[in-house]
């Protein structure tokens, strides 16, 4: 067991099994489906914080994989496909909800549980090391540069909202203090290394392997159902302490918190579709 599974029993057996971002899904669907090792959310605040941090990240990794597919189809197709734009907007919204979900604990609980676990893995531990996310900013830049503005305006707005949520959540949890990355010796502008990507995978209990799309979707659906039922029992808008945000940002975040369950349910349908083209 890894250190986190040792101290957080609710994560024992929890492992996300997905391919490397550039590896296609296995074509043959034969063979055993990966075991689904996630359990229902616990009540204890520290355990719940860890659970949401890990489960929220697992689902975010799945969302990024599908979002990258959609963005690639928008960036590469001759004609911009409105269904892919709509799907990408929905996926950005799920990712925004997952930021709020993963970081929904109080700053005190975050500083007591999550942050020390990341520091123990590496003092400069950072989301920049998430290999499943790396293609997304690049594809988004291509889309912004090459696609008709009126067709992708909603998509660019959803991406901006996502940045607002990420920044606000980071600020809330670290009380305006420096992030781990900034307070470490590692320069923020250095290239990410494979060692860091692997360490990030290991920390988050991700096993890289060839799986079929069906096996991937089975994990994604199990995770989405767990997050949705956790959020139905303990709504996100009850969990945030002070945010201290401009009204417009507070409005965006409040809406995502209130509609989290609908956003997640819609995503369940979307996960069965594939980009055309
Ligand atoms: C579910 C996904 C994510 C969550 C819940 C999340 C959460 C957070 C939190 C809480 C912090 C503050 C860390 C601390 O110092 O204690 C942070 C900082 C940061 N995150 Fe994320 N993050 C996520 C994904 C990402 C991704 C994909 C990237 C990659 C671009 C990223 C880049 C960063 C950076 C660069 C910082 C430091 C910001 C600064 O120094 O101003 N994060 N994030």
**pLDDT tens track, the chain, 277 positions:** 677 776 778 888 889 999 999 999 988 767 667 778 889 999 999 999 999 999 999 999 999 999 999 999 999 988 878 999 999 999 999 999 999 999 999 999 999 999 999 999 999 999 999 999 999 999 999 999 999 999 999 999 999 999 999 999 999 999 868 888 888 877 777 899 999 999 999 999 999 999 999 999 999 999 999 999 999 999 997 655 457 788 888 899 999 999 999 999 999 988 877 776 5
194: domain range? 3-270
This prediction's pTM: 0.95
Report the nearest-CA residue for atom 11 of ligand 1. 170
Flag whether 43 is in a domain. Answer: yes
Which residues neighbour 90 within 8 Å (Cβ) at sequence distance 6 or greater? 263, 266, 267, 270
Flag whether 256 is in a domain. Answer: yes
How many folded domains does the chain comprise?
A: 1
Q: Hey, which of 68, 134, 170, 186 would you mutate to test ligand 1's pocket, going by the most ligand atoms within 8 Å of its Cβ?
A: 170
Q: Is the CB of 52 under 6 A from ligand 1?
A: no
Flag whether 92 is in a domain. Answer: yes
Report the nearest-CA residue for atom 12 of ligand 1. 170
Flag whether 229 is in a domain. Answer: yes
Report the nearest-CA residue for atom 33 of ligand 1. 127
Flag whether 275 is in a domain. Answer: no
Which residues neighbour 2 within 8 Å (Cβ) at sequence distance 6 or greater? 202, 203, 205
Q: For 186-198, b where at least 16 C-beta lie within 10 A, e where not — what string?
A: beeeeeeeeebbe
DSSP alpha helix (H) spans, the chain: 3-7, 45-76, 82-102, 107-109, 115-121, 135-146, 149-174, 180-183, 194-203, 213-233, 247-258, 260-270
Flag whether 276 is in a domain. Answer: no
Flag whether 99 is in a domain. Answer: yes
Sole residue written with tokens 């809330």: 172
Q: Is the CB of 63 under 6 A from ligand 1?
A: no
């Amino acid at each position: 067991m890894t250190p986190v599974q040792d101290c957080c029993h609710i994560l024992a057996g929890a492992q996300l099994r997905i391919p490397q971002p550039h590896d296609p899904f296995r074509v043959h669907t034969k063979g055993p489906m990966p075991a689904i090792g996630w359990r229902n959310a616990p009540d204890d605040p520290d355990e719940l914080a860890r659970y949401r941090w890990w489960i929220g990240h697992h689902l975010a990794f799945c969302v990024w994989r599908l979002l990258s597919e959609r963005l690639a189809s928008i960036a590469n197709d001759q004609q911009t496909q409105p269904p892919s734009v709509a799907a990408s907007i929905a996926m950005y919204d799920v990712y925004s909800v997952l930021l709020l979900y993963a970081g929904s604990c109080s700053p005190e609980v975050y500083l007591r549980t999550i942050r020390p676990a990341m520091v123990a893995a590496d003092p400069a531990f950072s989301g920049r090391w998430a290999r499943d996310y790396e293609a997304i900013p690049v594809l988004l830049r291509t889309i912004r540069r090459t696609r008709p503005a009126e067709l992708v305006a909603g998509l660019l707005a959803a991406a901006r909202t996502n940045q607002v949520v990420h920044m606000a959540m980071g600020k809330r949890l670290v009380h305006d203090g420096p992030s781990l990355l900034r307070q470490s010796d590692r320069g923020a502008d250095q290239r990410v290394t494979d060692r860091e990507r692997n360490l990030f995978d290991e920390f988050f209990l991700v096993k890289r392997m060839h799986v079929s799309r069906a096996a991937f979707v089975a994990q994604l659906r199990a995770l989405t159902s767990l997050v949705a039922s956790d959020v139905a029992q303990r709504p996100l808008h009850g969990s945030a302490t002070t945010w201290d945000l401009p009204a417009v940002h507070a409005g965006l975040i409040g809406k995502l918190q209130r509609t989290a369950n609908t956003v997640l349910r819609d995503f369940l349908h979307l996960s069965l579709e594939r980009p055309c083209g």
